Structures are given as C-alpha cells and as structure tokens.
Amino acid sequence: MNIMQNYTTWKNKHLEDKDLMEELESISDNQEEIKDRFYRELSFGTGGLRGIIGAGTNRMNVYTVGKATQGLANYINKKFKNPHVAIAYDSRIKSDIFAKESARVLAANNIKVYIYKELMPTPSLSFAVRQLKCSAGIVVTASHNPSEYNGYKVYGSDGCQMTIDSANAVFYEINKLDIFDDVRRMDFNEAVKLGLINFISNEVFEGFINAVSSQSINKDIKNKDNLRVVYTPLNGSGLKCVTTVLKRNGYSNIHVVPTQEKPDGNFTTCPYPNPEIKEALEEGLKVCNETNADILLATDPDCDRVGIAVKSNGDYSLLTGNEVGILLFDYICKSRIKNGTMPKDPICIKTIVTTDMIYPIAKKYGVDVIEVLTGFKFIGEQIGLLEKKNEDYRYIFGFEESYGYLSGSYVRDKDGVNASLLICEMASYYLNEGLTLIDVLNKLYSEFGYYKNTMKSFTFLGQSGFEKMQSIMKDLRNNPPSSFIGNSVISVFDYLSGKRVFKDSSVETLTLPSSDVIKFELCDNMSLVVRPSGTEPKLKTYISVVSNDRNKSIDLSDKFSKYFENLFSSK
C-alpha cells in the first residue's frame, strides 16, 4: 500500500480519537505532512517504539500502540502459560491513555495485567515484573525527548528491557498484523471487573523503596541534614519515589523545585526535559542559589536517569554522566573495601561509549570490567547472566555516559532513584571531609589522567534525513578514514559485521551482538564512535581523548567535534 492509500484508509476509518481525525483532515492538502506520517511504520526494536504523538503509521497513537501490544500478546501467549504483564507510565501527553490501551489489548488476549494506579518511574516497572513474576512488562515513556514525543518500552520476564532476539521475535509478530482489523480490545472497566486488569499494590511500591534503600553503603554517615539538596523531577514521575527514599535514609534537607514539581507532559519550563543539558536545570539552579544548596538533583521524566550540579567556589558546576559514574564507582569501591563488603572478583559493567577512565580505577581496586553495546538493557542482560550462575553478588556497579547508573541487581535497568540516594550519600560523605565532588573529581584526574568524553548529536529529519544517515554509515564502513585530523586509525570496530579490522588489514571477530555502530580506535588511547540513535532521528558521535594536560584534552576534543560537524554537513 502506498503513502496516499494508507492516508486515505486512515481518514475513511472515522477513528474514535477526534484528535487524530482533525489532524488527518488538516493535512489533506499537504503532501509533505502526509508523507512524513505514512512513509514508514514506527520501528519496534530493543528500545520498543518511540515517535511524535499524532496520526499515522509513523506516529505514536492508540492504533500503533495497539498493534504493537497485539504483537506482544501473540508472542507472550506462544511462549508462556497463564501469562502476566506489568504496566507503568510517566507524565507525558497520553501516557495514561496508551497504558490503558495496552492493558485493554492484553486483557482481550486473556493475559492478566498489573498496572500502577499512578505514574511511576521506569525502574519501578522493572522491579514489579520481577516481584510479581510477570512474563513481560510495558512502560509508556519517551524518556528525555521533547513534549511532542511518546514511547513504549517492553521488558522481558527477567525485568530487563528486551534485547535483540526477543525484540526481533515480537517485531515478527507485529508485522503479521493489520493495524485495524487484527487488534483485539476489551473495555478497561469490564476487564477490571473480570480480574484481567489489576492495580499494583502499595506492597510492591514499598518493596521497591526498600530495595533501593538496601543499596546504601555508608548508612551511618553523620550530619546528613547538613547536606542541602535541591531536587527537580522535571515535571515527571520521580517525585514520590526519590523524596521518599532520600527522607527515609536521613536526607531531609530537600527543596523541590516548585515550577517542576507536578506532572506536566508539556514541560513548559524545560522544553527539552533532559538532565544532560543546562537549559533543563535552569529552574533548579535558581532554587539552588536561593537556598545555598550543596547539590542539585534532576531526574528525567521517567526517572531512570539523573543529572547533577554541585556547588564549588560559590558557583554551580554541571557534571557529565561519565564524571558522575566515575565518582560513584570510586566511592563504591573505596567504601566497600573499607567496610569489608567488597565481594570476591567484583564486576563493573559499562557500555562501549562510556569513558575508558573506568579501567585504571578498576585496576586499582581489583575490579573486572565488562563492556557491552550501547543501552542499559545490555548491562541488565549481563546481570541476568551472572544471576543464572548464582554470581550476581559480584556485580557492584553499572553505568553509561547518558546519565544512567545502577548499583544493585534488584532491577535490570538504570535507576534514577538508586542513583539519587548514592549521589547524596557520596556528597554527604565528602562534605564531612570538607570536600566537594569537584574536589574529588580533580583528585581522580590528577591520579589517572584527564579523560575528556564528548557526545555530539546531529539531527536528520524526515525520510530524506533517514536516508542520509544510512548513507553516512554505509560510507564510513566502506571507506573508513585512515586518520582523523592527523591522528592515525589503529583499528576499526564494525559491530554490524562483527569484525575488527586492523591497520595491516588483519581481522578479529567481535563477540558482541550485531549493532549499527562503528568505532575508530586511534593512537594515544583515543577513540571515536558513530552510531544512529535508536529512538531519535539523530547520528551520535562519541569522542574520547586523554592527556595529562586538561587544556590539551579539551582542545583535541573540540577539534574532533568540528571535524564531524564539517563531515556531516558536507554529505
């Protein structure tokens, strides 16, 4: 079916959602708008679905969500007897509607549903899947995307976001369906009466809070009230869980940012609710200045990631995900060794685009490092593999550069609630020693070298942009540069073909799963990684340099950034 036929089919269906009908009518004379909505279907992968809310196959709406859920239901019913699925959702526009739509479809397929009564963080969904022994889980969120986006992530029975094989199997089932004719639905209230849809109890919430609290390493730190904390949930789902955990663990000197306290899918005070960027933290920084806070915590809308700013020399400095990860890893290691709680043969897990500064620190403390593909689901997968061998006790920390952290095995995803507790504990620990986190970070740089990690995103909108991204990746594979701004390439990791090609043309087989990622290993312990985003129309580049001189590292990183800007703009 071509684009116009698809558009006409949708328009003639007289959809129950009036918003969608009005949108379809409004674009009737605009070929480009029609094309953008119908030139493809939202792709389902390890990141589930993610897209702009609206009408069409390339949009998030009750029909694309319903089709994905029907495919999931078919997959689950083939794999499990008497299956159960847990559902959570965040504050985004129509998140509650999409969550209920998913529940309706599952119930119509005789799959028992457990759904949270109120918006909850993504990690609490991972916890509920494991706690309630579910066959799968769904969380409706678009993480840190702008307000016009929403998404749909699927978790396996282990509480881990679906990895490649499982996602492909669900995708196979989805592709067999007609979006209108093959999706079963049941009235939500009727399904509740029949016991097919159940609300998740407060016991599960308390279990999650207790599991997070159990990750405290130095429970008896003195003067916890001396730590002045400003917290913003960025109008998302983190407020209840984060403040409850902090207060129960003795961190009661908390000021919540009033303009970002309540759920608001429009994110009016932070159009891009991403704790990685300063603009999203401006409201929080105002409150920091008013309260003379020591630290700002900001969780993204689904509260699986956290960004921070810390007071230093009278001003507030934002730390990167890599810097916070390094600080936490060092703190966990030194504290567990001091407390006698470091396990035998401890393990830290990081993604391939996360800072290599982890390696010298891990060597100092005798910790093994496992490297996985980009995405915390692959960290969760490794925790699961350890659990199958009864060795999950070895796992002490996992993190990724995009502000995701986890110190325990109670969930299989990054956890902004867990990270918020550990960050406050760490800050309080050093505050008692008269140190800020900036002071500690600079000590680590002095000891191990100044690692500068920079991520640059390049946006490619619409069908033409999608095709341009594919062309760039193909060209980098087929014609890899032998050097970048005078720095020679030692080897090229092509994770799609599973090969590492060296300068002398020798080849090594890679063991990680196939993925559309290219890594260039350069001289002097530098690397460059290029990959398309799995959830946004962007190419992402990850620049990693190290030097004993801070200014040299910054200058070199800036030159690589400019190189990619020129390269992609010329394509």
Please name the amino acid found at residue 410: Y
Q: Which residue is listed with tokens 């700013």? A: 309
Which distant-in-sequence residues (6+ apart) come within 8 Å of 457 by Cβ? 533, 536, 538, 539, 540, 541
- Which of 300, 267, 291, 270 lies closest to 282 in space, CA to CA? 270
Secondary structure (3-state) at 335: helix
Q: How far apart are CA 240 and CA 220, in angstroms?
A: 24
Strands (E), 342-425: 347-351, 368-372, 395-400, 404-406
DSSP one-letter code for 39: S
Does 143 participate in catalysis according to the annotation?
Answer: yes
- The dihedral region occupied by 248, where left means phi > 0, alpha psi between -120 and 50, and beta the remainder, is alpha
Active-site residue, selected from the candidate residues 124, 126, 135, 143? 143
Is residue 87 within 8 A of residue 139, CB to CB? The reply is yes
Please name the amino acid found at residue 420: S
Please, which residues bridge with residue 349 across strands?
370, 398
**Which string of DSSP letters, residue by residue, matches 218-284?**
-TT-S-GGGS-EEEE-TTSS-HHHHHHHHHHTT---EEE-GGGSS--TT-TT-SS--TTSHHHHHHH
Catalytic residues: 143
